[in-house]
Structure 1
Amino acid sequence: MLSRRRRRPPFPFPPGPKGLPFIRNLLDVPSKYHWLAYENWAREIGSDIIHTELFGTHIIVLNSSKVANDLLEKRSSIYSDRYAQIKDRKWVINLFPYCDKWRNWYKTFHAHFKPTMIHKYHPIEVKAAQHLLRSLFDTPEDFMQHLRRMVGRVSLSVAYGIELSPRNDPNMALADAALAGLGVAQTKGRIFNLVPFFMRLPWWFPGAGFKKDADMWKRKMDLCRDEPYEAVKRALEENKATSSIAASMLAGLPEKPTPEEILMTKALPSNATAALQSFVLAMVLYPEVQRRAQEEIDSVVGHGNLPDFGDEESLPYLKAVLYELLRWSPPAPFGIPHRLIKDDVYEGYFIPAKSLVFPNIWAIFHDPATYPEPSKFKPERFLDTTTPVPLLDVAFGFGRRLCPGRYFARNILWVAMASMLATFEFLPVTDAEGRPVPPLQEFTPLLTSGPMPFKCTIRSRSSRIKETIIATLQG
């Protein structure tokens, strides 16, 4: 029996754990908190670029802003591909391979979410924030659910013109199910996603039962995309459609649209993201930050009033809180892997074609040389112009694979943060003796990470705001 000999690289691979024959680093790479493991290896080995290998698939992790910029920005023409998924989510723009189809989709999506266009979504975002505040007044203990609902409300309204029902909305249930499936897939299916060899195994093979579950998750994700689209299509036919991205794209289709055009219309509005739970956690853990932000808001809009987007430039500390939130708890700490199109050499290290290249955003944002005391939530670091600002782009991608909805997501974050700070105090719960019990600073181990479920006390700062919100929403 002949065995294929491994090709000898012209230069050494970047440093990393040695590994074993055939399986290579299978036992080294953890199943969760990848960003922490690679950050530790980088520190131990003394290299900002780390190499591991799983059954012939090379994984390159970039642990500094310099290396990430050198490769993913300056060499983006060869570092902008994506890798194949176990169940290819062909309608999720961030997971597209780098090709003409992706470029067309990105251009169309960007047309709706570029900086000069996103102001038209401000009324929707403000209204969603008011619904959030009303929910927090009624049932503050369900704040995590209310935050998810606020993001979903904005996304569904902008994308499809859908108004969520007060409770148990089926569109929200579909979205939650799809996101839950995707989260499990990121953990259970990590080897299948990274190693092409495993993708060819039948579902009954030991350890490959995940592939059967993936069919169910894919169906839920497809329903999350297709059902709102069909609702917009019916509304247009009945002249009942409200303004939305899907409605405008459908109205602009030719008389006989191609399958590609229909798929683009279905898919593009579905890509939106935000992370607010880390903000609440930070406010509970750092009450001095909360007080300073509230004092700034009160001084600009007056105690008992809600800030609007027109107040943004007058609230520099709140802007610093937003920057620090993205740095302290990046929503995608390990990024989405890029796929190298052809062989490359960087600082004497060989990086073979088809390598999966991960930007370790967590390591970049927690570099003590750039951000002293990186584990602490210190917005004032971004009031000092000598401190590099973690630009929104870094938190949402690199090079040609920047998330096109990043400005939209940033606005959702800002208006929710400003509204909650103006209205509520976020405090730790207390024990039987009345002593505060701060929540643990623990985050989920998935590639999309947020705080572990925690409890806190949410107390109103102004009864007048509640009356104003109720009157506004009823009106």
Structure 2
Amino acid sequence: MNSPAPSEQVRSRGRREVRTENVDLNRSVKAARISLPPGPPTTPFIGNLFEFPKRRLHLKFSEWAKIYGDVFSLKVLNQTIIVLSSPTAMHKIIDVRSTSSSNRPKSIIADMITPNNMNMGTGRFEATQLMHDFLLSPESWFDHLRRYTTSFALGIIYGKRGPTLGSQDVMDFMDVHPQFINALEIGTLPPVDLFPILTLVPEKWAKWKRTVAHIKNLHVTLYDRLLSNVERRLVQGSEERGVLMEHAIRNAEKLGLVSREHLLHLGGVLLEGSDTSSAALQNAVYALTLYQDVQSRIQRELDEVVGTNRAPIFDDLPKLKYLLAFIDECNRFRPVGPLGLPHEMTKDEIVDGYLYPKGAVLFVNIWGMGRDERYFDQPEEFNPDRFIRHPFGIKDGVVDDPARRPNMQFGGGKRVCPGIVFAKSSLELNVANLAWAFRFSPAIDDATGVELTPSLDNYSDHIQGVTATPKPYPITIWLRYSSQREIINRQMAEVQSTLDRFDED
């Protein structure tokens, strides 16, 4: 993304003057005229309402960033939207001014998930079952990944996993989560954030209120049942399972969890993240299928480092340089959260001469950052080697943005993803396992004999939501070596008793 000085045309059409008085910025700014960042020209009263995309915001935002710079603003009716499309822009407002750029209190999970505290729960055992599920019914691979990520999250949060797609907790989550994401879609519900007066409409005349109440009831019912199971085990003196909710209940006062509602919300925030983990694994499988030469190189590395007589373990991961580069390239090429989680300004801030007003919504354009031609050579090409040459994949001969850091797709400031440790280790181990055990290739249409090539642009319709989730697509999966069948079956038998313990309420 370029950061050009706005042209005279942009100056006259795109810069909105905002009058601020008595703004507390650790200095006296009185009756000052400070402009918002530049942006597309606005129409009186409605702003950029008609230009605002209905789908795939990240693509339009990246297009606008090339015109208006790394930071640009939009107006949708009375709502200010500011888009950050470079690591430096993100750092200056999301990290440095995190107190002002999020009205959400610091997540206690960051304090709970530390090397001394961390318990991967059923993590590596669930990874074994995922391999076993692929072995038994490879045609259901997409659902296996959804079950795995949901069950993994249930296990580490509540100590109660979902062994099958038909498990009650898994089914309930997969019922309520799409409804929740759909409710967040732009245009699905009335714009109550822009017109708060709509909240005064009686429920009998506002179907959307009944929809929201229904989704809330599903959420509360699910999370209350999960939390109650943990509370009951603790009251009964059952052996603790070393999971997050046990720790949260035991240390509720210390962690600032002053009510049961806080515990319900805590579990919900973490469990909702399983959707992004599933999407990341699905993208990785599609990439293995699409780029056969990349898949072959990963498997040669696995054979050299791990061998064929056992499955990969966590200790192998640092030695699998190309596999880790492949995962980094998947995250750059198709980030599952292309715009991250929106932030909201809680007070006025001035950064580089521009006003970030209180109430403005901030989007971090992760998609655009990974496609910035100033830093990435041929950004539309899938090429893991870029991460072999440079830890951030930057092309040769350029000075990188000094604010770039690892794992920017997990957010920043107070809104950084609380499950980053679990998400990364889970993704890396499972990609290693699946690539070690199986070969992936495009499926063949039985009727025509034509190869069915999947696309990484094959997103679900819920592209405006938090997650860019791939759609299911048929692929062909088979064992790389016949001996691996016995290894996977034996490993599954070894972990079954541990998994069974987490099947119980």
Shift of 1:204: 6.6
1:418-441 CA distances to partner (integer Å, 9 max, x unpaired)?
110001111111235644331123
Report the CA distance shift for 1:393/1:114 in structure 2 as closer, same or farther (over 3 A).
Answer: farther
CA distance in 1, matches of 2:203, 2:260: 35
Which is worse superposed, 441-450 or 124-133? 441-450
Match of 1:87 in 2: none
The AA in structure 1 aligned to 2:312 is P
CA distance in 2, matches of 1:316, 1:264: 41
Shift of 1:258: 9.8
Which is worse superposed, 11-20 or 361-370? 11-20
CA distance in 2, matches of 1:204, 1:175: 26
Match of 2:490 in 1: 471
User: What are the residue-to-residue correspondences of 1:254-403 with 2, within 5 Å?
Assistant: 260-270=258-268, 271=270, 272-273=273-274, 274=277, 275-385=280-390, 387-388=392-393, 391-403=405-417
1:394-449 CA distances to partner (integer Å, 9 max, x unpaired)?
11112222112111111111111111000111111123564433112322313311
CA distance in 2, matches of 1:395, 1:318: 19
Shift of 1:334: 0.9
Match of 1:446 in 2: 464
Match of 2:114 in 1: 114
User: What are the residue-to-residue correspondences of 1:429-444 with 2, within 5 Å?
Assistant: 429-431=443-445, 432=447, 434-442=449-457, 443-444=459-460
Contact 2:340 2:411 in 1 (8 A): yes
Report the CA distance shift for 1:364/1:167 in structure 2 as closer, same or farther (over 3 A).
Answer: closer
Match of 2:168 in 1: 170
The AA in structure 2 aligned to 1:409 is A
Structure 2 counterpart of 1:27, from 37, 44, 50 = 50
Q: Does 1:149 align with 2:147?
A: yes
Shift of 1:232: 1.6
SS in 1 for 2:153: helix
The AA in structure 1 aligned to 2:167 is D
Report the CA distance shift for 1:419/1:67 in structure 2 as closer, same or farther (over 3 A).
Answer: same
Which runs of 5 or more structure 1 residues have no equivalent in the other structure?
1-5, 82-96
Structure 2 counterpart of 1:426, from 429, 433, 440 = 440
CA distance in 1, matches of 2:134, 2:202: 44
CA distance in 2, matches of 1:228, 1:21: 50
CA distance in 2, matches of 1:168, 1:269: 21
1:233-267 CA distances to partner (integer Å, 9 max, x unpaired)?
2223333354122233334557xx99824333333
Contact 1:110 1:404 in 2 (8 A): yes
The AA in structure 1 aligned to 2:438 is F
CA distance in 1, matches of 2:77, 2:353: 24
SS in 2 for 1:276: helix
The AA in structure 1 aligned to 2:316 is D
1:131-176 CA distances to partner (integer Å, 9 max, x unpaired)?
1111111221211111011111211111111132435101001211
CA distance in 2, matches of 1:249, 1:344: 35
Shift of 1:347: 3.1
Structure 1 counterpart of 2:431, from 398, 402, 417 = 417
User: What are the residue-to-residue correspondences of 1:31-46 with 2, within 5 Å?
Assistant: 31-43=54-66, 45-46=67-68
Match of 1:68 in 2: 90
Match of 1:225 in 2: 223
Using the aligned pairs only, state the percent identity.
27
Shift of 1:301: 1.0
SS in 2 for 1:383: helix
SS in 1 for 2:80: strand
Match of 1:461 in 2: 480
TM-score (norm 2): 0.81
Shift of 1:386: 6.8
Which runs of 5 or more structure 2 residues have no equivalent in the other structure?
1-16, 21-32, 395-403, 495-505
TM-score (norm 1): 0.86
Match of 2:237 in 1: 239
Q: How many residues align?
A: 442
Please tell me the root mean square deviation across aligned C-alpha atoms, in Å: 2.6
Match of 2:72 in 1: 50
User: What are the residue-to-residue correspondences of 1:95-134 with 2, within 5 Å?
Assistant: 97=104, 102-103=105-106, 106-107=107-108, 109-118=109-118, 120-121=119-120, 124-134=122-132
SS in 1 for 2:299: helix
CA distance in 1, matches of 2:230, 2:155: 11
Contact 2:335 2:409 in 1 (8 A): yes
Contact 2:314 2:429 in 1 (8 A): yes
Contact 1:393 1:402 in 2 (8 A): no
Shift of 1:392: 4.4
Shift of 1:278: 0.8
The AA in structure 2 aligned to 1:441 is L
